[in-house]
Structure 1
């Protein structure tokens, strides 16, 4: 059953994973305007701290108030909060 999840606070439907203590590297390229960042070439270490709304920053938490730190936990928690729409029944009376 396809669902569309959204932020319980602002209804935005894009989330972001926030990781901490990560070492990243990016290539630096020459452009007509000077030096600029290219693509990310590596990311090492760190851990996922939380998932949050990409718009308002609402942190998704489990019933105990602990921030969710795995993608597999996000949908069930949002569903418990009623922050989803069942796309199969959208538009039905």
Structure 2
């Protein structure tokens, strides 16, 4: 087993980084558990997708509320809808089709 020896300054920097990482994780977890009302771009950022993906999901039935002309999304409703879209598929033993251009 290897051993790492840090001086006081390096140890302080390491602990500060650990503390910041843990705080970020706690904040992120709290945010994920709270319902947020977001616009299209905000929801895209939340899911780490493009705003065009949100438009596609709306066309597939993702729930939203219309506030004036702006669509607003509940993160809890969006997550629920997203998980409902998951499909369980059985692994297939068929080989994929191979297309060769001649």
Compute the TM-score of the two structures, normalised by the length of structure 2: 0.29
Richer in strand (by share) = 1
The TM-score normalised by the length of structure 1 is 0.30
Instruction: Flag the structure with higher helix content.
Output: 2
